[in-house]
Amino acid sequence: MSKKKILLRLLGFIIAYIFIVGLFQFLGGVLSGMSLTEPTPMTPMQLFATVFGTFLGTLLILYIFTKWVDQIKFVEIGLQTGTIFKDFFWGFLLGFLPIALGFIILWQVGVIQHIQIHFNFPDLLLSILIFLFVAFNEEAFLRGYVLRNLMSAFNKYTALLLSAILFALLHIFNDNINPIGLTNVFLAGILLGLSYVFTKNLWFPIGLHFAWNITQTLFGFNVSGFNSYSILSYRLSDKMRWLSGGAFGFEGSVLSLFFEIILIVFVYFLFRKRHNT
């Protein structure tokens, strides 16, 4: 298929995705009692309902396009189950460690102060489900469909770069976004797509994406500017905001930039070696 046809297919997919997923998000919000007239903050259950609506809309639009447009099996976007637990585990581990280490560093240098613990099991369970669905939605959409098709039109590294730019653009209007944060989101797009260009399997980036987000929120950081339930709460020192990320969260920090570059190099050599073997 020509490059032009592939790009037109992607444009149609993105437009259809926005429409279908937007409709499902709206229905999820309405069914959970979200106000349509007053812009009040969503409750955890309302947030879950909209994210679950996104999940259902994502499944529907992916099924439609894979079956009738791409004419491939749905699992071929990268949902093969052969190594699901192994790949998800290693992705989760690589997503968890930088955030945990970053938290320890910020605590030890005095940027994080007056730590308190707030444990609420229902909110914890909702947060886990929310960020698990978020990871699946974004990886299936951006890596499983968009990156997969871009790789049919361009070489894999150009495709990876374009998908990372799109990933960054989707976050450009997030609350408290800053230049470092936007750079980190772009690098996250590179990191999450790197394994896919070698394996065309989504379970590693889903595990990494999920761990990166859930660890941030449970450790008290905002996630790309978004605030949700945290086990830990604390005060951030006004000094060295560049190190903590401030209101955007850990992803707005130089520390995150450092860890992401290390992870990109590590994942590249790991999966290139596995691919060559």
Mean pLDDT, the chain, rounded, equals 94
Q: What is the percent of the chain with per-residue pLDDT over 70, rounded to a whole number?
A: 100
What is the model's pLDDT at position 40? 74
pLDDT for 233-252, tens place per residue?
A: 999 887 788 898 988 999 99
What average pLDDT does this structure show over 164-191? 95
Residue spans of the domains in the chain: they are: 79-276
Phi, psi of 236 (to 5 degrees): -90, 130
Confidence category of residue 2, pLDDT binned at 50, 70, 90? confident
- The answer for residues whose C-beta is within 8 angstroms of residue 83's C-beta and 6 or more apart is 201, 203
Overall average pLDDT of the 149-167 stretch: 97
pLDDT band at 65 (very low <50, low <70, confident <90, very high): very high
Taking residues 55-71, report their average pLDDT.
97
Cα of first residue to Cα of last residue in the chain, in angstroms, is 30
**Interval 152-171 mean pLDDT:** 96
What mean pLDDT do residues 44-48 have? 92
pTM as predicted: 0.96
Q: How many residues does the structure list for the chain?
A: 277
pLDDT given for residue 241 in this prediction: 82
Confidence label for 166 from pLDDT (cuts 50, 70 and 90): very high
Span 48-71, average pLDDT: 96
What is the pLDDT confidence band of residue 142, given thresholds at 50, 70 and 90? Answer: very high
- 208 pLDDT more than 90: yes
Confidence of residue 227 (pLDDT cuts 50, 70, 90): confident
Check residue 120 and give its pLDDT. Answer: 92
pLDDT at 147 (0 to 100): 98
Among 15-19, 38-42, 150-154, 162-166, where is mean pLDDT lowest? 38-42
